[in-house]
Structure 1
């Protein structure tokens, strides 16, 4: 699994069993992370969200990847733009081995 984020979204690379519906995984991740973040940073979040109960949006994007190695995918996720907007010097080429 790899993880990286930007100011308005996150990137996850997961190896998911075909029997697990992606919507179930996403719902679980959103539920667990929302509870964890709210319990650890309640005062900070209250400044921005007030008493709003929804932390994540209802949207998500899932794609399967073929034709590239796991190492290439990991490199791609690790080298996405940072939340500060600073891009890494060179992004990996996904289409070539």
Structure 2
């Protein structure tokens, strides 16, 4: 088991990825031009700080898509909370017009889907097939 697909810790071999999406408050189209560029920098910076790899990122005018890889100790909720809190605080400080247009930068909700190399159907079949062994 070696290659880029798996990562290792002292006791674990893992491949954990999440597709995360969250929106600006009221779906306001404020994530454009300098705000969008700065948001990308801040997301990469904070992700490195919490041990998360951003594999793919797309900032749309009113929402953010991320594909992240992490270790088993980071929950999706922790990752999203850290990224949203940090970026909101810094962006609202650096771009004061965001404070006047929105009570907060992000909505309280987010979307999360686990992403893996093996499909759910394959895992179900593998577990079912273990009975006969």
TM-score of the alignment, normalized to the shorter chain, above 0.5: yes
Q: 1:62 aligns with which of 94, 98, 112?
A: 112
TM-score if structure 1 supplies the norm length?
A: 0.58
The higher radius of gyration belongs to: 2
More helix by share: 2
The separation in 2 between residues aligned to 1:28 and 1:7, in whole angstroms, is: 21
TM-score if structure 2 supplies the norm length?
A: 0.43
Which structure 1 residue ranges, 4+ long, deviate > 6 Å from structure 2?
A: none
The separation in 2 between residues aligned to 1:13 and 1:66, in whole angstroms, is: 11
CA RMSD of aligned residues (A): 1.7
**Structure 1 unaligned residues grouped into runs of 5+:** 69-97
More strand by share: 2
Q: How many residues get paired? A: 64
Q: Given that residues 98 and 105 in structure 2 are in contact (C-alpha distance below 8 angstroms), is that contact kept between their aligned partners in structure 1? A: no
